[in-house]
Amino acid sequence: MPDCVFCAIASGAIPADLVAETDTTLAFRDLDPKADVHVLVIPRAHFDNLGAVAAADPATAAAMITTAAGVAAAEGVADSGYRLIANTGAGGGQTVFHAHLHLLAGSRLPGF
């Protein structure tokens, strides 16, 4: 997708601090971290949001969650706990319209 920053990361056109990759997903550190651990997990292919991934390619949606769980283990937060967030649409706080999961962990996260 032209002008999509996460497509540019997936193609290698712009750099990212990669922490994991699979055939269908990539994980890299957020440029502006909101927690001690803040990693983004994306599908390599462009979808506008997580719901669109699940509708079109449920295996890739599941792979995003599995990749996130693997990153949590690698970061040492699988046991202490972590949060997965998928902001969807402008009203949900989404600013990059390529599907992604935020993996947040570290010091205790605030409740809702």
Active site residues: 100
Greatest CA span in the chain, whole angstroms? 39
Asked if 29 contacts 39 with a C-beta cutoff of 8 angstroms, the reply is yes
Q: Of 44-83, which residues contact Zn ion (CB under 5 A)? A: 46
Contacts of 103 (CB under 8 A, 6+ apart): 27, 37, 38, 39, 40, 41, 68, 71, 72, 82, 83, 84
Q: Is 32 in the site for ligand AMP (CB under 6 A)?
A: yes
Nearer to Zn ion, 47 or 82 (CB): 47
Looking at residue 73, the DSSP 8-state letter turns out to be H
How many residues touch ligand AMP under the rule CB under 6 A: the total is: 12
Q: Is 91 in the site for ligand AMP (CB under 6 A)?
A: no
Cβ-proximal residue to ligand AMP, closest one: 87
Which residues make up the interface to ligand AMP (CB under 6 A)?
A: 5, 16, 28, 30-32, 40, 87, 93-96
